[in-house]
Amino acid sequence: MPLATTFAALADPTRLAIVQQLSRGEATMGELAAPHRITAPAMTKHVGVLVDAGVVRRRKLGRTVVCTLQPAALTEVQGWLGDLTTYWNSTVDRLEELLESEDDD
């Protein structure tokens, strides 16, 4: 899944909260909806966006829908953030070196 799709899915506060909740273990749709003041269809839509982005997997157990976080989908986000962190750390290091060399002058 493209990184932009993952970020778009995570950009919504409700969906981000769903991912945080699922990071503690799988949950039913009812359990996911409990902390939010939204309708069942709205929760289904939010979970659907996360499923389409590959962040969440849902399966039916009888009449219950159970959702599970797909951590592999977040690996690309983690890699991107790692690259960005490396870039900023090296930039700050170069700035520190420059400032220190100016202090020596």
Whole-structure pTM value:
0.76
Helix (H/G/I), strand (E/B), else coil: 28: strand
DSSP state for residue 36 in the 8-state scheme: S
Q: What is the pLDDT of residues 5-64, one digit of tens each?
A: 999 999 999 999 999 999 999 999 999 999 998 999 999 999 999 999 999 999 999 999
pLDDT score for 15: 97
Are 30 and 24 in contact by the 8 Å Cβ rule? The answer is no
Residue 95 token pair: 């700035």
Residue 91 token pair: 């930039």
Query: Which residue did the predictor score with more confidence, 1 or 69?
Result: 69
**How far apart are the C-alpha atoms of 73 and 56, rounded to whole Å?**
8
Alpha-carbon distance values, 14 to 18, 32, 38 (Å): 6, 10, 10
